[in-house]
Every structure is written in C-alpha cells, then in structure tokens.
C-alpha cells in the first residue's frame, strides 16, 4: 500500500497521472533528451520534425479502471504540423502474459523482446491496433486519445476480453516515429538510416537490423525510488547491441509492475 501511495504522489507531482481517474498500477520516468536510440540517432530532415522531441518518452504509466488497462505515454513534443492530429509519433507496448510468444517487436521496430509477447499494441494519430503472437489483429476495441497540448497519448484496452491479470504481466514500451506511407492509417516505425534523409532518421545503419525506435525505458529506471542505484543497463548499450555480422537485432528488456 505504501509503495502504491508513493507512486500516486510521484504521478501527481509530475502531472502525468493527476488527471486520471483510474488506479495507477505503475509509472516509470524516463530521462528527457535521450530520444537518440543507441546514442546518436537524429530526426529526419523535413521541417515538420522541427526541433525534434516527437519520440522522447518522459514517462510511461499503466492504470486500471473498470476492466480497462490504460497505457499513458507522456511525450516531450507532440506536434500536428498538417492539422490532422499526431501523425509523427508512434508508441507501442508489447505484453507478455505467459510462456512463449512473439520474440520480435513488429511494425518495423527491428528489435527483439526479452519477454516474448502474447500481445503487441501500436498507436499513432487516431489509430490503434492490437495483434497477437502470430501478428493477427485482436479485436478488443482498444481506443487511443491524444492530447497534443499535454503531450499525452492514452491507450485504453478492455482486458476482460483477454482474461487479464495485469499485475503478473511484463510490459515492453517503445517510442519512435511513424511512417504511414501517406495513407493516413496506422503505419510502421519510420526507418533510421546511417545518414538522415528528408523522411528517414539518421545515426543507425543502412542494413535494416538496427532499431527503428528512438526511446525505451532502461531497466532500473522503472524504480522511481531507487533511480540512482542498481546496475542500470544504459539505453545506449541496449539499443546498440545488434550484430551486423550475424544479423541479430537488439533485445529490449521488459518492465514489471511491483
């Protein structure tokens, strides 16, 4: 109970959970300005990306309310350059509920999962999609609410339909840029190349095995109360741990509700 209270207080101080009416199960704080993937990712050159920050995760919270699980991402700079809502930022979370599952984070993330997932949820703009371990869509009527001003993206997932016991699950959130291929629907993570191009990020590699995500939550950073202790594996090391020779992609660690 005491830790839950502290989590609520932290959320209130940061203003991330204050507006929510659900129970906050956990909130992880992520550093500002580490939207650089393995250390040197940069944004595409097109002016719509402006000063950047569209893929800078500041916090990730999991709430529970009326049989719904809510994932809230606070982003440093949500933008709407074309007056059509958020199309640049893409968020996702992989959910591990049991043994086995999908070892790869989909939609061009180019990352493996330490905790193979039974479900993956992706959202950008007004669209959200949930897939199962075989990449088949799961129709649970998930919804997404984006508040450009507040910098928040909230995904609501009815978990009764997937027999939820969220406290035992493991979660792997990731943030990048969306490429909807001009179609306006839910796209994929936008490619990161060695050198930035108008619509491609830079700082990665031209072989398509480097992560196309800009920001994750490194382990230990999840424990807001011991943020200064422990053996934190830096995000740079995690996202830079792909192998050009074997083609092995980087593996993202999972978060647990405690």
Contacts with Ca ion by CB under 5 A lie at 30, 34, 56-57, 96, 101, 116, 215, 235
Dihedral pair phi/psi, residue 160, rounded to 5°: -55, -35
Minimum gap (Å) between residue 170 Cβ and Ca ion: 8
Say which residue the tokens 């594996």 belong to: 233
Minimum gap (Å) between residue 1 Cβ and Ca ion: 29
Q: Which is nearer to Ca ion, 101 or 196 (CB)?
A: 101
Q: Are 63 and 17 in contact (CB under 8 A)?
A: yes
Q: Which is nearer to Ca ion, 44 or 116 (CB)?
A: 116
Minimum gap (Å) between residue 159 Cβ and Ca ion: 16
Q: Which is nearer to Ca ion, 63 or 215 (CB)?
A: 215
CA-wise closest residue to 76 among 85, 87, 89, 63: 89
Q: Which is nearer to Ca ion, 128 or 174 (CB)?
A: 174
Minimum gap (Å) between residue 218 Cβ and Ca ion: 6
Encoded tokens for 122: 């992706």
Q: Which is nearer to Ca ion, 47 or 99 (CB)?
A: 99
When CB distances to Ca ion are compared, the closest residue is 101
For residue 40, what are the contacts with CB-CB under 8 A and spacing of at least 6? 203
Q: Which is nearer to Ca ion, 156 or 235 (CB)?
A: 235
Q: Are 80 and 149 in contact (CB under 8 A)?
A: no
Minimum gap (Å) between residue 181 Cβ and Ca ion: 26
Encoded tokens for 235: 């995000």
Q: Are 34 and 129 in contact (CB under 8 A)?
A: no
Encoded tokens for 160: 């009764």
With b for 16 or more beta-carbon neighbours within 10 A and e for fewer, the 90-106 pattern comes to bbbbbbbbeeebbebbb
Taking CA atoms, 178 is separated from 44, 120, 144, in Å, by 11, 16, 15
Minimum gap (Å) between residue 64 Cβ and Ca ion: 20
């Amino acid at each position: 109970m005491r830790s839950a209270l502290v989590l609520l207080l932290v959320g209130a101080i940061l203003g991330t959970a204050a507006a929510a009416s659900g129970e906050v199960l956990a909130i992880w704080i992520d550093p500002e300005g580490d939207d650089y993937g393995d250390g040197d990712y940069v944004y595409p050159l097109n002016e719509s990306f402006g000063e950047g920050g569209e893929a800078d995760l500041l916090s990730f919270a999991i709430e529970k309310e009326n049989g719904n699980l809510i994932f809230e991402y606070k982003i440093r700079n949500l933008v709407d350059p074309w007056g059509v809502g958020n199309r640049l930022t893409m968020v996702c979370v992989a959910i591990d509920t049991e043994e086995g599952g999908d070892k790869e984070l989909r939609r061009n993330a180019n990352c493996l999962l330490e905790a193979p997932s039974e479900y993956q949820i992706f959202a950008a703009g007004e669209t959200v999609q949930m897939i199962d371990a075989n990449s088949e869509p799961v129709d649970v009527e998930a919804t997404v609410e984006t508040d450009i001003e507040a910098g928040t993206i909230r995904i609501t997932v009815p978990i009764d339909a997937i027999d939820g016991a969220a406290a035992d699950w493991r979660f792997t959130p990731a943030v990048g840029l969306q490429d909807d291929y001009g179609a306006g629907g839910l796209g994929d993570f936008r490619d990161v190349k060695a050198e930035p191009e108008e619509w491609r990020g830079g700082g990665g590699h031209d072989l398509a095995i480097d992560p196309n995500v800009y920001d994750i939550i490194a382990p230990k950073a999840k424990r807001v109360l011991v943020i200064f202790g422990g053996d934190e594996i830096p995000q740079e090391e995690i996202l830079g741990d792909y192998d050009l020779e074997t083609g092995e992609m980087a593996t993202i660690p999972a978060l647990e509700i405690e």
